[in-house]
């Protein structure tokens, strides 16, 4: 089996990310929150370590949303009619994203909370 050029792998990956960002409401919301978070990090002149933690946290949540879209697409293709097992798979994937998003909120509060608190004091 011949390998495809690396360019095509990147192109396809960006196409998949683009699909998720265009079609998934939650991915749009998570991206917007991520952008606002990074703007706040810039405004507060956070140290590089905090930037790294925030960037990684945002990336993990968005990657989980991509994974959730994968699960939903596969389940819909395999089981177009209602199935309890399909529902469980889709709910569990959505639950994983929710857990990561809640964890991201905690990370954001730990990092951005103190400078925000000082701003309102």
Per the domain annotation, does 120 fall within a domain?
Answer: no
73 lies in a domain?
yes
Active site residue 72: no
**Residue 71 falls inside a structural domain:** yes
116: in domain = no
In a domain, 94, yes or no: yes
Mean pLDDT taken over the chain: 96
- Which candidate in 30, 65, 100, 111 is catalytic? 65
Domain that holds residue 82: 27-111
Band of residue 88 on the pLDDT scale cut at 50, 70, 90: very high
Among 76, 74, 65, 68, CA closest to 101 = 65
Q: How many domains are contained in the chain?
A: 1
Return the structure tokens found at 108. Answer: 């954001």
Over residues 41-87, the pLDDT tens digits come to 999 999 999 999 999 999 999 999 999 999 999 999 999 898 999 99
Residue 106 lies in a domain: yes
Q: What is the CATH number of the domain that holds 68?
A: 1.10.287.3610
97 part of a folded domain: yes
CA separation for the pair 117, 121 (Å, rounded): 6
């Amino acid at each position: 089996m011949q390998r495809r050029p690396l360019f095509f792998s990147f192109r396809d990956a960006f196409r998949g990310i683009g699909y998720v960002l265009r079609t998934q409401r939650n991915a749009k919301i998570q991206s917007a929150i991520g952008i606002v978070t990074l703007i706040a990090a810039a405004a507060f002149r956070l140290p590089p370590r905090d930037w790294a933690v925030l960037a990684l946290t945002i990336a993990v949540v968005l990657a989980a949303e991509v994974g959730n879209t994968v699960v939903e697409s596969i389940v819909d293709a395999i089981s177009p009619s209602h199935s309890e097992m399909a529902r469980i798979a889709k709910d569990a994937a959505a639950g994983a994203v929710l857990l990561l998003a809640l964890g991201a909120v905690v990370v954001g509060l730990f990092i951005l909370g103190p400078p925000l608190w000082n701003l309102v004091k």
